[in-house]
Amino acid sequence: MPLWQFCRGLPKAELHVHLEGCLEPDFLLELARRNEVAVPWETAEQLREAYRFRDLGSFLDLYFAGCQVLCDQRDFYELTTAYLDRAHQDGVAHAELFFGPQTFIERGIPVGVQLEGILDAVADAGARTGISASLLVSAHRHRTDDDAFALLDSVGPWADRIAGFGMGGAEVGNPPEKFVRYFAELRRQGFKTCVHAGEEGPADYVRQAVELLGVDRVDHGITILDDEDLVREVAAAGTPLTVCPISNVRLRTVPSLSEHPLPRMLAAGLNVSLHSDDPAYFGSGLADTYTATAEGVGLDRGTLTELARNSVRASFLPHASRQALLSRIDAVAPADC
């Protein structure tokens, strides 16, 4: 079986994917026309040419510009549906979707319009294809903790349909310690939590995430290798790290796939899994991410299978659902793993 076919057929969980980052160029331009939003690109080819990112900041500028074309419930529904259909084809059995309502709240789009569109699409995709999906509400770290608390209040009516809360955005100058009160409140209310740390920020941001915020997962986390004591502590605790190798290369936090720290993270016993981050902007869905990473850093199929298992174990699914997905992985795993 070719590697790409193995990667596509391997059941896995996608835990680190931003719904806004699933806005494919053709669909972005279609929404711009439909909603009469002016954008600086006339063709999908021109838009793809803009995907030559210098760093995380240049990516976020374009990412938030793209968000301007999402305006009504139908838009959020169609965006979610398009991602889930592709993910199903990529062998994603369960997806946990980051979504940042603050971007749209500031434009006057009601939270209900956003979340109902997404949640309706999740339900319909599950009924149509069997894919499992849930919502992670993501706060922006460049905003204040008061803004994060306001976000938490605004999504309250949908709390029983939210799997957890995350935080993303530009790390530099926005350490996790800014949000100690907010994450304490999330824990008090019983929510699962995760935070982006150690993508472009230092290893100390990963330490703050686990020690000050008490998160269940760390998103990215690749700079953890700069702190050997922290590596040992996080490995012993088994805290999951959702790693996005293609994203790291495209945003130049890592020079190339062959130089990605993933093998060193695995050798150190860290609990890592693979994810696509923003597949429309980085040109790599989850199956492509598995394939390219395996070829780039030299992973065998047994290691890929264990990475898929890690993704399921790290999910916020109930125990019984995780066990059912692990059984699906066992059914297709190579004989020696």
**Residues with catalytic annotation?**
199
Which contiguous run of DSSP H or E holds residue 195?
strand 192-197
Three-state DSSP state, 108 = coil
CB atoms within 10 A of CB 268: 16
Specify whether the backbone of 170 is left (phi greater than 0), alpha (psi in -120 to 50) or beta: beta
CA-nearest of 259, 204, 83, 99 to 218 is 204
164, β-bridge pairs: 136, 192
- Dump the DSSP string for 232-266: HHHHHHT-EEEE-HHHHHHTTSSS-GGG-SHHHHH
Q: What sign does the CA torsion over 36, 40, 42, 46 have?
A: negative
Helical H segments across the chain, by residue range: 3-9, 25-35, 44-49, 56-67, 73-89, 102-105, 111-129, 145-154, 180-188, 203-211, 228-237, 245-250, 262-267, 279-282, 286-297, 301-313, 319-332
DSSP character at residue 275: -
Are the C-beta atoms of residues 230 and 270 closer than 8 Å to each other? no
Helical H segments across 90-171, by residue range: 102-105, 111-129, 145-154
